[in-house]
């Protein structure tokens, strides 16, 4: 049974940082596209970042343009945890953040589409005040 369990959300002031964690069970960290989506108030859900690691150890990362240079996605392979380090947070980053997993690769420049996601976490709220 696949489970994605997020943690690390909270309320912070603009400029501060948070680290989200997604504990993954039932899926290999290799050959699976792992991603973070978010959905802000009255907004569509959007892909924030994704990471794909091959069995040979090559990895590919994607970032939403508005978070490049501020957010970083990474994996801890032994414990099978996906992290989203968020620095210099802005009020517009306020959203519910979801961990997601899609079978197969996301190594192309094209962002992972929601339609490919097979598993979702329950979501964790991030609120950034000005």
pLDDT tens per residue across span 40-95? 999 999 999 999 998 888 889 999 999 999 999 999 999 999 999 999 999 999 99
pLDDT reported for residue 109: 77
**Distance from C-alpha of 38 to C-alpha of 68, rounded to nearest angstrom:** 15
Q: State the Rg of the chain over Cα.
A: 14
Please, what is the Cα angle at 114 between 108 and 115, to 5 degrees? Answer: 95
Q: Determine which of 31-35, 90-94, 104-108, 114-118 has the lowest per-residue pLDDT on average.
A: 104-108
């Amino acid at each position: 049974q696949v489970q994605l369990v997020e943690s690390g959300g909270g309320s912070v002031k603009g400029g501060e940082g948070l680290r989200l964690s997604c504990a993954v069970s039932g899926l290999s960290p290799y050959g699976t596209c792992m991603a973070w989506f978010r959905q802000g108030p009255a907004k569509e859900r959007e892909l924030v970042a994704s990471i794909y690691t091959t069995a040979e150890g090559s990895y590919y990362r994607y970032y939403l343009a508005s978070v490049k240079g501020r957010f970083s996605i990474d994996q801890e392979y032994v414990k099978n945890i996906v992290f989203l380090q968020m620095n210099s947070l802005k009020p517009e980053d306020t959203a519910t953040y979801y961990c997601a997993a899609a079978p197969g690769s996301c190594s192309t420049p094209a962002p992972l589409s929601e339609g490919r996601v097979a598993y979702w976490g329950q979501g964790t709220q991030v609120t950034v005040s000005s």
